[in-house]
Amino acid sequence: MPEFSFELDDDQKAVRDWIHGFAVDVMRPAAAEWDEREETPWPIIQEAAKIGLYSLDFYAQQYFDPTGLGIPMTMEELFWGDAGIALSIVGTSLAAVAVLANGTEEQVGTWIPPMYGDANDVKVAAFCSSEPDAGSDVAAMRTRAVYDEAKDEWVINGTKTWVTNGGIAGVHVVIASVDPELGARGHASFVVPPGTRGLSQGQKFKKHGIRASHTAEVVLEDVRVPGHCLLGGKEKLDERLARARERARSGTERGKNAAMATFEASRPAVGAQAVGVARAAYEVALEYAKNRVQFGRPIIDNQGIAFQLADMRTQIDAARLLVWRASWMATAGRPFTAAEGSMSKLFAGETAKAVTAQAVQILGGNGFTREYPVERMHRDAAIFTIFEGTSEIQRLVIARTLSGMQIR
């Protein structure tokens, strides 16, 4: 493992600048249009695929960056470009992470490539965890998977909600309960291949922000998938369930579940996304403050504005450092003994909301209009304190980790 450094190496800088160029030239000019259309920006995704930015190879290279900084660097630059379009580009990665976190090597090789397709026929994938009555409370999940031993198939029934790419994806990764008595410890992950009967799109949501990203319900009615679509395999599942039952009987500490394994792996990356949005809004506000003249001088000459910008930049840099620390720790195999992954997501998400709100305030009436991008950035930033674990859930995770108590 290389020594930790705050300085990106030449290769990392080249990748960062390449992504930044795509954000400047392709994403930003299209951002307002796709936000208004509230549709998946397929042409932009295809442009990303043509240059290799939307591909398994690229994300694998960043995922295996030995410093751990490849993914957060990528996420920050894309979301600096535009959060809605960026989420359409990276939304597939959550399903891919679910396969990486829970699947076998064979399953990784089988299911992740078709999630992306190719430059001539781009695809997206979806990770289906939340339900109408089970968001943060994953133990309340009602989607059920029952094993049909005679046919070696799993039969899945339930409804998922708030699914990025739900219904339009080729591959769906679905979290379902296989043993309801075990609560969250009785969950498992399943791949639902393209064209599987019984899976359909429900309601498509009209959202406050990240509107270029497709979010919808996914309905599963007697969906049958082959046994090999159970991530990790049935033998591993049976062993895990047996351990969970024994722990439940003895009252000892319980293990992780499939959904949480995915979220824990992705939280620093989500924090990096929030940093990108915050940085974008800060840069707009800084430039505006230097050029907006009131009472005969630029408004940045006023301490009330200058100090706001100083605080904004400080918060952004602090958030990035928390994200980089958590990303490096994960790559180095260091345990999150103080819930550092949740810390990074919590602080970065709250920073994005605060900084974008301050940017709107600095721009005044202009900031409240769609003529300037900070209005959209502020709407987009709201999601970072909600999805993949609300800020309240992050605080709960941190408090439980620090105290060793089952705080409720």
Active site residues: 388
Give the closest residue to 220 by CA, choosing from 233, 202, 204, 205. Answer: 202
Separation between Cα atoms, residue 166 and residue 66, nearest integer Å: 32
Written as one letter, the residue type at 14 is A
In our burial notation (b when 16+ CB lie closer than 10 A, e otherwise), range 53-72 reads bbbbebbeebbebebbbbbb
Distance of CA 4 to the CA centre of its chain: 25
**DSSP element (H, E) containing 200:** strand 199-204
Separation between Cα atoms, residue 380 and residue 365, nearest integer Å: 19
Separation between Cα atoms, residue 98 and residue 282, nearest integer Å: 33
316: its two tokens: 């952004």
Q: Count CA within 13 A, CB hemisphere, residue 282.
A: 24
Tell me how crowded residue 236 is: count the other CB atoms within 10 A of its CB: 14
Neighbouring residues of 23: CB distance < 8 A, sequence distance ≥ 6 = 77, 78, 80, 81, 82
Separation between Cα atoms, residue 164 and residue 170, nearest integer Å: 12
Residues, the chain: 408
Give SS3 for 223. Answer: strand
Separation between Cα atoms, residue 12 and residue 18, nearest integer Å: 10
φ and ψ of 202, to 5 deg? -95, -135
